[in-house]
Structure 1
């Protein structure tokens, strides 16, 4: 033992190696971690937990990226829905006003029915897409929370202006 190492060991109460306090638990399974006398302190109880934590960290990053992509897609879908709503309002304005019951000559269709029906169909498809995207975003956020819990990520997800608690956007 060299002189500086000997002085450090003596200052530590005669122990050469400084092991972390006993009683640490594995962040994955909760088991007690046995520390080696030398070397870097163990963070996990064994290889399976270390691998599970690595996979969970990777899943958390993938979930954050996927959530960011989904938020972009949902924002684009919302913009399209607003455009469709404006088109729908314009199409509704072209519908002829009510016909008096006394009028014998009822005008035939002027074509607004087809346009209005097509716009309603497109809006329904878009609403279905938005609904599916929201459900997928909820699942991704839950996966991120699970992975964060396993890996011990302490930082809370970013809350966007829309109040959404999804993982951080990358």
Structure 2
């Protein structure tokens, strides 16, 4: 996705019910990820939090979007999800309201993000929980599929390259 379609301007609802855009989190690197509490990939929360702690002071902002579309692996209320994330994984980054990422009722942010091709050249539906979209200060977007861990060298290098020193 190119900067002219910058997803930073698309509204979504945060966990407290307020309307936000990604621009509200500054002009650094933003990592958007659809999360689930009962998924085999849920331990990625630990790596996401480590990234936030390592690079947050330089302008990285991770935003989690709970989604229950994949085998019902995020069944709880937003309050239950926030409690789980804080107590189990020590999550300090923002968690938004639950969203749909695929289908005709997908959140507008995800409708835009899904146009981004991954490194294999494939765009389209989110494959599973923990798919990652790295939004650069330029507005360009890089997409990483669920099994690519948050601490993968390609993601870390992309973050480091696009944050101030």
Q: TM-score range by the shorter chain?
A: under 0.3
Give the number of the structure whose alpha-carbon radius of gyration is greater: 1
Say which structure, 1 or 2, has more relative contact order (CA 8 Å, 6+ apart).
Answer: 2
Higher helix share: 1
